[in-house]
Amino acid sequence: MFKKSLKFIFILLNMIVASLFLIYSINQYSDTHNLKQFDISADYTPFQLPEPASTTHDYLHQLAVIKKTSQKMQIHFLKRSYFTGYNSGSKFNYNTFKQNVLFESDNLSNSLLSNYFGHHFQSGKVYSTAAKSNSLRLKSYGTIAFTIKEFNYQHAPQSREGIFFIQTTNPNQIEQYLELLSQNYNHEFASNYSVKDFLAPEMYPASIDLNLDSSNLRTLTQVAILFQLIFFMIYFLTFNYENGVYSLLGYSLFQKVNQLILKSLIWGNLPILLLRIFYEISKQYYDLILNSCSVLFGLVTLEYLLALAITFILGKLPTNRFLVKRADNKYLFGFAFLAKVVLVFLVFISAQDLADFAGQNIKTAFSQQTNFYHKYVSFYPLVQGYNETLDKIKEGKYQTKNLYPTLNRAGAIYIDTSSLNSENPYLLQNVDVNVNYLKLVPVKKLNGKKVILSDQDTNKTILLPQRNLQNTDKIAEFYSSKRHEKVKFIIIKNQQALFNEKGQKINNYQYITVRPLKNVLQKLDLNIFTGASADTLKIPLIKNPLATYRHYEKLLAKYNSCDNLPHLIKASDSDLEEVKSQAASFYLSGFDLFLSLVTLITVTLSTINLYFSIFGREFAIKQALGRPLREKTYFYWALILLQTSLLLGLIIATKMLNLSNLVLFAILTIGDILFSTIAIKSFSKNLVRRFLND
């Protein structure tokens, strides 16, 4: 009876490992094709335009200049627009994260894109990997949607953003093209840009840009295979008695192995292989079928050869060693338990979205967020959108220059307390605010009058509490020498409360820095659109967040920011919105977590099975003597304690110790203990009778 359950676990473990390996290979197959279709650097060279177009008219004008240059040089060009993010405005949903790639070519028939998609494109046609009524279907790999079409020189594009490419990698042609392009551009736009202004910006590596990271799944698969091999050796050694009987009956080496494991190997791998082949045929991944068969055949062959080797070695031992049922695999059990520790850690890593979700729920439950900013909204989340370049500072300056003035004039307030939350020296422990903030939260001077400042001031103003009056010269020197700025001072009363980004009262600042609009436009160093749910910039609410977004949608569209700032939330609901975002991330990564948990449960069940296969005789004797359960399983619980200590050590060593991860660590540990307790009680029932039957 006991060995029947062990065979069932062996088949189940084979199915899990085979599934993991095949899922990983499909994932790699899709990633390889997506990367090949996205990265066109083998035949194309990227370039940029010196200024982004703020209107459709300007964009079409720029496009005409590029077209004129390409026709003169007889070099084809295209644009790649890669979007990663959410729909904006009324269509926004945390669960609708998507990745789309759009290629627009000047001439599809002569384009070299066919080298990357394995399809000959025709001019005037639209092609897509997604099902669209007006396009021809291309084979799809994974969840990234590719669309290929020609430029429309008369109508607004899907996006004005993207990376332009010319169809050449010849250095001389590239130099000549950019030289002519700069001349044509300067002539059309009455500008004075040099060739350097048209050189391609630094971009994310393609694999990072597409978020192609299967390292967790790969490591999970590798460790699962390692555990399977260790389990297999112990499993096979558990049947040493049957092995000895077959030897006495005169069975050959292959006959003994076939009797012991062949059926289990077939049932553990064949159903998964058939499901995989059916899936690949449905997806038209015909070139992957042979790979699937060879991978599973390799795994089965490895296990079969390992069984032959073990049987051969055991065949050299005296037969009576088998018949007395010796268990010489305690060391292998130790290795199996170490493999389980690694698997638990991998589950821990794959469950980070769950940890963030649980941690955010705890924070929200104990949050002191107030309704102070209930009449304001903030942009959340901040996403990559169509931005493929690495220059975050340039993007921040662009948004500050073009978006902030309008929002500031509408009454937007700015409050940045980030310097208070870090180990900054005294001179940096300040709070940054704008002039509008002082209208909402008045600050009083020593004479009791409110501080009133103008957005037309060119310099920052330092509001210094009276208790810090002796530091005036130090602060002035700091701004002068380190930031090359002149500041003016206003002395204010002590202990005046401000409200931080979440509406909580604070008074632990050393001074307040006020940023007038004119100064902001000179420096362009405002810390806005941070991506935090409690953003530093808060905009007056117009009816509701959606109505407010629609009010500013034209402004965002003009400066190519709808893709980066797709949604407005009530500033007083930042914690709740963060919970929603974390829940969506948890939902989107749920498949990886499901795989990890199924693997962990199977491995835990296998470990307990192995424990009883090795220590079962001793356990049965103690059970017959009436010993308590904890005394009979002290060795297993000692290993669980070791596992918990090692896991906590790995978390600390990898600098992942925080509230969210502590919650996840507790969930995994308690879950493992409960599951182990239930399994041990189940296996220990009638253990004496089982061993007598075996």
User: Which tens digit of pLDDT belongs to each residue from 340-369?
Assistant: 787 788 777 767 766 666 666 666 656 666
Beta strand extents in 97-187 (DSSP E only): 98-105, 127-128, 136-137, 145-150, 163-166
How far apart, in whole angstroms, are the C-alpha atoms of residue 46 and residue 202?
10
Least confident range of 22-26, 137-141, 150-154, 347-351: 347-351
Q: What is the mean pLDDT of residues 216-233?
A: 73
User: Which tens digit of pLDDT belongs to each residue from 387-414?
Assistant: 877 667 788 888 999 999 999 999 999 9
Q: Is the pLDDT of residue 627 over 80?
A: no
Q: Is the pLDDT of residue 292 over 80?
A: no
Q: Is the pLDDT of residue 499 over 90?
A: yes
- Can you spell out the DSSP letters for 427-478? GG-EEEEEHHHHHHS--BBTTSPBP---TT-SSEEEEEEGGGGGGHHHHHHH
pLDDT band at 106 (very low <50, low <70, confident <90, very high): very high
**Confidence at residue 214, expressed as pLDDT on a 0 to 100 scale:** 65
User: Which tens digit of pLDDT belongs to each residue from 155-206?
Assistant: 888 888 899 999 999 999 999 999 999 999 999 999 999 999 999 877 777 7
Q: What is the mean pLDDT of residues 62-78?
A: 95
Helix (H) or strand (E) run with residue 329 in it: none
**Confidence at residue 324, expressed as pLDDT on a 0 to 100 scale:** 44
Q: Is the pLDDT of residue 97 over 90?
A: no
Q: Which of 633, 637, 636, 641 is nearest to 687 (CA)?
A: 633
Q: At what angle do helices 171-189 and 56-73 cross, to 10 degrees?
A: 140
Task: Quote the percentage of the chain above a pLDDT of 90.
Answer: 33
**Confidence at residue 622, expressed as pLDDT on a 0 to 100 scale:** 66
Q: Which of 349, 335, 511, 344 is nearest to 420 (CA)?
A: 511
Phi, then psi, of 178 in degrees rounded to 5: -65, -35
pLDDT band at 268 (very low <50, low <70, confident <90, very high): confident
| Angle value at C-alpha 472, between 466 and 478, nearest 5 degrees | 140
Q: Is the pLDDT of residue 98 over 60?
A: yes
Query: What is the three-state SS of 558-626?
Result: HCCCCCCCCCEEEHHHHHHHHHHHHHHHHHHCHHHHHHHHHHHHHHHHHHHHHHHHHHHHHHHHHHHCC
**Confidence at residue 592, expressed as pLDDT on a 0 to 100 scale:** 64
**Confidence at residue 322, expressed as pLDDT on a 0 to 100 scale:** 47
Helix (H) or strand (E) run with residue 2 in it: helix 2-38
How far apart, in whole angstroms, are the C-alpha atoms of residue 542 and residue 551?
8
Q: What is the mean pLDDT of residues 83-97?
A: 83
Beta bridge partners of 105: 78, 150
Q: What is the mean pLDDT of residues 325-332?
A: 54
**Confidence at residue 689, expressed as pLDDT on a 0 to 100 scale:** 56
Contact between residue 321 and residue 605 where contact means Cβ atoms under 8 Å apart: no
**Confidence at residue 634, expressed as pLDDT on a 0 to 100 scale:** 77
Q: What is the mean pLDDT of residues 629-652?
A: 80
Beta bridge partners of 163: 80
Average pLDDT, the chain: 83
pLDDT band at 252 (very low <50, low <70, confident <90, very high): confident
Contact between residue 101 and residue 121 where contact means Cβ atoms under 8 Å apart: no
Q: Which of 353, 385, 372, 355 is nearest to 574 (CA)?
A: 372
User: Which tens digit of pLDDT belongs to each residue from 594-625?
Assistant: 766 777 777 777 777 767 766 766 666 666 66
Q: What is the mean pLDDT of residues 34-39?
A: 90
- Can you spell out the DSSP letters for 295-322? HHHHHHHHHHHHHHHHHHHHHTS-HHHH
pLDDT band at 449 (very low <50, low <70, confident <90, very high): very high
Q: Which residues contact 83 (CB under 8 A, 6 or more apart)?
A: 98, 99, 100, 101, 102, 159, 385, 386, 563
Q: Which two tokens stand for residue 421?
A: 């939350």
| CA terminus-to-terminus distance, the chain | 7
Q: Which two tokens stand for residue 383?
A: 């996403």
User: Which tens digit of pLDDT belongs to each residue from 460-489?
Assistant: 999 999 999 988 988 898 888 888 889 999
More confident residue, 333 or 17: 17
How far apart, in whole angstroms, are the C-alpha atoms of residue 388 and residue 39?
13
**Confidence at residue 176, expressed as pLDDT on a 0 to 100 scale:** 95
Q: What is the mean pLDDT of residues 555-567?
A: 91
Q: Is the pLDDT of residue 22 over 70?
A: yes
pLDDT band at 516 (very low <50, low <70, confident <90, very high): very high
**Confidence at residue 632, expressed as pLDDT on a 0 to 100 scale:** 64
Task: Quote the percentage of the chain above a pLDDT of 70.
Answer: 84
Q: Is the pLDDT of residue 142 over 70?
A: yes
Q: Is the pLDDT of residue 271 over 90?
A: no
Q: Is the pLDDT of residue 211 over 50?
A: yes
Q: Is the pLDDT of residue 323 over 50?
A: no
Q: Is 44 exposed, middle or buried (0-12, 13-18, 19+ CB in 10 A)?
A: buried
